[in-house]
Amino acid sequence: MSEQRLRANGDRLNGPARIAGVDLARGLAIVGMFAAHLLATADAWRWADPGTWLSIVDGRSSILFASLAGVSIGLVTGGRTPLPPQQLGVARGRLAVRAGALFLLGILLILTGVPVYVILPAYAILFLLALPFTALRARTLLSAAGAIAVIMPFVQPRLNELDLWSGPLGDEISALVGWNYPFTLWIAFVLAGLGIARAGITRLTVQARMLVLGAALAAIGYGLAAVPPPEPGAYWYLVWNAEPHSSGLLEAIGTGGFVIAVLAVCLLLCRLPAVKAIMFPLRATGAMPLTAYTVQLLVWAGVALVTIGDTGDLYGFRMLEPFWPLTIGTIVGCTLWALLVGRGPLEWALDRAARIVPSARG
């Protein structure tokens, strides 16, 4: 391996073609999802109780992941200005191919029997739902995201009560559509990310506004969570909820704001060369999130099968204390791969598959 190759691969992650803060946020989301899967956390996150701080990863890491999907969609479809119609059509076609590949990979990961709610099927559906919005400007996208985040929590409890989920194939259908991350509400987080990309995510003023707005929304959502529902009862409890994966109004507002603020902090920190350099391993992990996520689940399945004979035994696997070995191994592995090889293997494969859609020039 030549020094020139190492330098070129390092420059790929440090150069202007990549947004370091976005990679850092993805890296944090990956580690957060590892923690949510592999560590036992408290029932609720409270600032005043350090014993609950670890539970900050529950639900929030996956929503950060979804919001960053929106950012990525926005960047590949033109950034601040949507691509011209012909080029936008090509980009949409390639995103649709990526969605199909993500869905198939998600099904394969579900079949491993690892006891997590695999996010990739939901991710694929969200990609497809976002395609019609890619021609819109930032203000329209952010308005649509806000409207969905406010309206859908009132509808979601009724959707969760549909007979479909309690039928003979209810669990299978739920896994296939990633209903633990319901696309009916989570499209709001994707559109928020898409809107941020359209607003100009690399601009300092945009990043500062993201931090202020995100912090304000988080304070409002989590602050109101201390207020009991106006009319106590099952339906209002579900609507007026900030708990992870509740699809409640206050989760949508609070966690939506939280992830916007986290992304803003990552973007602002990566303006500092020293921080950007120190965070290179996390950024390298964030540059290949699909590889990191998939390898974690495959290693989990393999280790669990060999050591305890059951890939579905969550408690037994957690007793092996796998979080640190898997997390450190993933970060080190991604860093070495980024430096020695370049692009993540699954990211490369997904890109090659998407190129079956010909370019606008034919």
Number of domains the chain is built from: 1
Could you give the C-alpha distances from 195 to 23, 257, 268, in angstroms and in order?
18, 14, 18
> Is 181 a domain residue?
yes
Question: Distance between CA atoms of 339 and 331, rounded to whole angstroms?
Answer: 12
Question: Distance between CA atoms of 81 and 74, rounded to whole angstroms?
Answer: 9
Q: Going residue by residue through the chain (362 aa), what tens digit of pLDDT does each one get?
A: 567 788 888 888 888 889 999 999 999 999 999 998 998 765 665 655 555 656 788 889 999 999 999 999 999 999 999 999 999 999 999 999 999 999 999 999 999 999 999 999 999 999 999 999 999 999 999 999 999 999 999 999 999 999 999 989 999 999 999 999 999 999 999 999 999 999 999 999 999 999 999 999 999 999 998 887 767 668 888 999 988 999 999 999 999 999 999 999 999 999 999 999 999 999 999 999 999 999 999 999 999 999 999 999 999 999 999 999 999 999 999 999 999 998 999 999 999 999 998 876 54
Amino acid at 277: A
Question: Distance between CA atoms of 236 and 251, rounded to whole angstroms?
Answer: 14
The answer to whether 21 and 263 are in contact (CB under 8 A) is yes
Question: Distance between CA atoms of 95 and 327, rounded to whole angstroms?
Answer: 29
pTM, two decimal places: 0.94
> Is 254 a domain residue?
yes
Q: Which structural domain range is residue 172 located in?
A: 3-354
> Is 233 a domain residue?
yes
First-residue to last-residue Cα distance in the chain: 36
Question: Distance between CA atoms of 98 and 93, rounded to whole angstroms?
Answer: 9
> Is 362 a domain residue?
no
Q: How many CB atoms lie within 10 A of CB 226?
A: 8
The answer to whether 242 and 257 are in contact (CB under 8 A) is no
The predicted pLDDT at position 362 comes to 47
> Is 359 a domain residue?
no
Taking each helix axis as running N to C, give the angle between helix 183-200 and helix 204-224, from 0 to 180 degrees, rounded to the nearest 10: 150
> Is 361 a domain residue?
no
> Is 163 a domain residue?
yes
Q: Where are the alpha helices (DSSP H) in 77-224?
A: 85-111, 120-130, 138-160, 163-166, 170-176, 183-200, 204-224
> Is 44 a domain residue?
yes
Question: Distance between CA atoms of 287 and 23, rounded to whole angstroms?
Answer: 5
